[in-house]
Amino acid sequence: MSNSVDLAHADRWEARRDAPVPNDVERILASLPEWFGIPEANAEYIEAAREKETWTVRDEAGCVRGAALVDYHFDRAADLFFIAVEREFRGAGVGTALVESIVEHCRECSVRLLQVKTLGRSHPDEGYAATRKFYEALDFIPLEETELWGADTPCLIMVRVV
């Protein structure tokens, strides 16, 4: 398969709640070492993929191309704990399909706030600058930058009113 995706078909992706897919999460993580390059963190994501609510986007052959994990800490607040799209499908609408389906599910369950954590603006990483733009385009608002992950890894908490 080529390294590009026909963006004219970006609206064809359908995200859905799915059974746990830890092997697919592991495969997707391996395709994105510049975002997911810390082995300990990756092991935590893979383990979380065994337990947390799972959302996937699959291609026509049934292969998972994007995955998201969601936590519900309170009745009306959810946490987009993890989201990743296989490298060659980035920019094709897979991530948007995941987020928008999760948001719709949250609305149906009377959840009012969805949060996501990402690398903060005070860190110069260009890849995460693009990640923040992705979330902002989907109506996430920067709320707070903290040292939750340590002084060298600023954590930006973003929220979306559902």
Domains and CATH numbers, the chain: 7-161 (3.40.630.30)
Cα–Cα dist 113/93, whole Å: 22
Could you give the angle at the alpha carbon of 126 between the alpha carbons of 123 and 129, nearest 5°? 75
For the stretch 40-78, pLDDT in tens is 999 999 999 999 999 999 999 999 999 999 999 899 999
Torsion angle (degrees, nearest 10) of CA 51, 142, 95, 33: -70
What pTM did the predictor assign? Answer: 0.89
Task: Give 72-98 pLDDT, tens digit per residue.
Answer: 989 999 999 999 999 999 999 999 999
